[in-house]
Amino acid sequence: MSHLHTRRSLLTSSALLGAGAVLGAAAPARAAGEDIAERRLDERLVELTFESPALGGPSTVALLTPRGWDRRRPGDRWPALYLLAGGDGDHTTWTTLFKVQELAELRDVLVVMPGMPLFGFWTDWWNHGKGGAPRVRTYFLREVVPLVERDYGAGPSRAAAGDSQGGFGALGIAARVPGLFGAVAAFGAPVHPVRHPEMWLSGAKYVGVDGYAVFGDPWEQWKTWIDWDPYHHAGGLRRTPVYLASGDGKPGPLDGDEPDPHIPGTEKWVALADDGVTSVTEAVCGEETRMLDDRLTTLGAPVTTHIYPGGHSGTYGYRELRHALPMLTAALRR
């Protein structure tokens, strides 16, 4: 039986600032009194919904709670693993597809799974120079993290992982805010999108989103593209353990019978793809992953990279999360 109640909560950044000022010069969270609706979905899973000033609308965050969480007292804290959703913005994928609730290694970890708008890219949108909502990165840094640290037992030991756009977000945030996460992982992610802008603009159009509103035109607003690009902020990951995983776009053991759909506007990359590639999206993610791996290796960063046969729509993230888990949980024990 689900349980629903509402209470007031101030979304401030005091917890983050108290954890070593990891946001650096970023402005504090907007002090916005919000109605937080809490819905218990099962013994461990709690779903929070609230109106997000940064997103300009409702937001949802799921919590997979650790042992003892229901009996928590003021001041009780657990290490927190933040899992960022892919381009569909669906936070429930972590429990339905990735089955994180089955991982014994996370029984004493608070797992935080925020949703985001469709094709939100974990980015504060350029919005044709106007800025404003959705500010997805601001939502995460100044609303989600302060909320769960203030009111739900998340502690200062943090790690993050993401699938596809979620991997972009996890890496980009970790690189831009060094020290926020003790480790970070990305699976099948566009980690150097300025290298292949047509891919991501075409993908946005394919799902009905104005990709130019996200980053702007790559030729006119190239500085905006670079500003959000994890590759160009790789120096911020120099002391953070990183796990990178991506398919090479060729059929692998976890792919279905159907190839990825053709996305109009990606013909250049289809033509340039190696023989046997059936997922040009994943082939591009694989190329970008190799480039970031080279960059991090040159910087002497602690990076582990796994490139494998596989496409973008398979279930490889389920496997790769489990490969990355020892690194992620080691960071949470520090």
Q: What is the pLDDT of residues 308-325, one digit of tens each?
A: 999 887 688 999 999 999
Closest CA to 148 of 67, 224, 66, 63: 63
> Which has more pLDDT, 301 or 5?
301
Task: Give the H or E element holding residue 268.
Answer: helix 267-272
Q: Given pLDDT bands bounded at 50, 70 and 90, which one contains residue 8?
A: very low
Spatial distance between the Cα atoms of 135 and 141, rounded to a whole number of angstroms = 10
Confidence of residue 218 (pLDDT cuts 50, 70, 90): very high
> Any idea what the CATH number is for the domain that residue 134 is in?
3.40.50.1820
Least-confidence region, from 19-23, 76-80, 272-276: 19-23
pLDDT at 57 > cutoff 80: yes
* Total-model pTM: 0.90
| DSSP annotation of 130 | T
pLDDT digits (tens, 9 = 90+) for 118-153: 999 999 999 999 999 999 999 999 999 999 999 999
When pLDDT is cut at 50, 70 and 90, the band that residue 34 belongs to is: low
Exposure of 133 in the CB half-sphere (CA atoms within 13 A): 12
Mean pLDDT of 35-50: 94
Question: 317 near 250, Cβ under 8 Å?
Answer: no
Q: Spell out the SS3 assignment of 227-268.
A: HHCHHHHHHHHCCCCEEEEEECCCCCCCCCCCCCCCCCCCHH
Domain membership of residue 315 as a residue range: 3-332
Looking at residue 256, its pLDDT comes to 80
Closest to 114 (Cα-Cα) out of 157, 70, 152: 152
Phi-psi region of 107 (alpha: psi -120 to 50; beta: other; left: phi over 0): alpha
Token representation of residue 119: 């094709």
Count: domains in the chain: 1
Look at the block and give the residue holding tokens 């340039």: 272
Q: How far from the centroid of its chain's Cα atoms is residue 49's Cα?
A: 18
Name residue, tokens 């566009």.
190
* Integer Cα distance of 52 and 137 in angstroms: 12
pLDDT at 17 over 90: no
Q: What tokens were used for 195?
A: 């290298």
